[in-house]
Chains A and B, each alone.
Chain A
Amino acid sequence: MAAMAHSTQAAHGHMQDYEYHVQAIEADLEYWRTKRLEPRLIQLHRRGVLTFYDLIRAAGHGPAAPAAAGEATHDTERRIRALEDALDEYIRGIALASIDSPDQPSVIEDTRKERGDYDDFFRIAKPSHGGTLEERIARLEHDIREYQRLLDVLMRALLDKGVLTKADIERQRAFLAGRGAFNGARIVARAWVDPAFKQALLTRGREAVRELNIPPGRLGKLGVAENTATLHNVVVCTLCSCYPHDLLGDPPWWYRDDSYKERIVRDPRGTLADRFNLRLPDTVEVRVHDSTSDVRWMVLPRRPRGTDGWSEEELARLVTTDSLVGAAPALTPAALAQTECGVSR
């Protein structure tokens, strides 16, 4: 798995390793089902906001199950891409279903307790993922369809019961569209060209990003760890998966993966080399930041060579999601040219 230096942009290039992509979808899909959607359902049910009976009623009124994801083709790469798109759709839908009704506020701590972050008793079991690649793809196609159906029914029940209004959902959709890894890229690019902004970012975190017209979010404090010629930072949350996601969108999928959490703290340098193909010289110290929810860390990568005179917009294209957690440096101009070659965006 030497080609794991993987970025949001590279994910749209040619697919090198089917196994890697399928494993990523399996891990992410089950994370979102067992940590986000189903605990949410149980939480609503426990509080009497929405009962299982409301769901059954809504299912009776709902539209037919959505069309099959990608089964019309035997092309493995296209089927995997269709699964990735369906997963994105599922994740976006969960974000919409996760807004609190103004009458029923909850705090993340409650959700964590109920989804089993602190106590195995509450943990929702995940299926095992054995079999051939073909069998695993077929199982994912089936599961995603079922999971999406439950989410559709939940959304309908929330609307039918008046827990949320269409206006609430539209507001949330607009809010979610305004965040994402691109915010991180813009923040980094500004820090590269503007020393005063960089200083404000390092000392005041979230407050500094307002000048980029980015909503700063409210999830604790933003910690910014700056890479230098002698220090490389990498971020993890071993307790759960804290990340400034209200500001930067989702971290890379493997950020939530237990094998990453366990290995990066025990052997930071070796893990970066083996897993991400990032080999750092002995003269560079590696520092792992383990988040504790109150400070959520991002890495400020170093500005690549050969970018003198680049505009902020051009520089932002060099910043990948992986570089924001320290699993990769920012792209070099040559790597950017390769990534964007033949990709219509």
Chain B
Amino acid sequence: MPAPEATHRFRLGERVRVKEANPSGNPRTPAYVRGNTGIVTALHGSIDNPLDHRGVYPPLCSVAFPVREVFGGASRDMLSVDLHEDWLAPAGTLEE
């Protein structure tokens, strides 16, 4: 099995922005992180998961977001959300 990193567009520690919508139709990104920026904390590669869905989804990253940036407030806690790369863009780029 190739190292999962080899298949990724993003690197550990990179800041990424979650797109607002995804034309490919893969629905598995929670609405609350859309439009937010986070840091890639794990690279999982493309996961073969035939019991769950047809075909192979794009490579999957764990992305960390501070709760306070997503929901406001003063929380110091973190959210780690697993996101497929077709939902992600480099931080600072404009929505296409």
Q: Which residues of A contact B (CB under 8 A)?
A: 107-109, 118, 218-221, 223, 238-239, 265-269, 282, 285-295
Contacts and interface: CB of A to CB of B under 8 A. Distances in A.
Interface in B69-96: 70-71, 73, 75-84
B71 A108 contact: no
B60 A292 contact: yes
B52 A107 contact: yes
B47 A268 contact: no
Given A290-B82, A293-B53, A221 B44 contact: yes
Nearest to A218: B51
A292 B75 contact: no
A108 B57 CA distance: 14
B67 interface: yes
B77 A221 contact: no
Interface of B: 27-30, 32, 44, 47, 49-54, 57, 60, 62, 64, 67, 70-71, 73, 75-84
A268 B67 contact: yes
Contacts of A239: 27-28, 30
Given A220-B49, A285-B76, A292 B54 contact: no
Nearest to A118: B27
Contacts of B73: 267
Contacts of A291: 82
Contact of A108 (B52, B64, B79, B82): B52
27 contacts: A107-B54, A108-B52, A109-B53, A220-B49, A223-B82, A239-B27, A265-B70, A266-B67, A267-B71, A267-B73, A268-B67, A269-B77, A282-B76, A285-B77, A286-B77, A287-B80, A288-B78, A289-B62, A292-B83, A293-B49, A293-B53, A294-B28, A294-B44, A294-B47, A294-B52, A295-B62, A295-B82
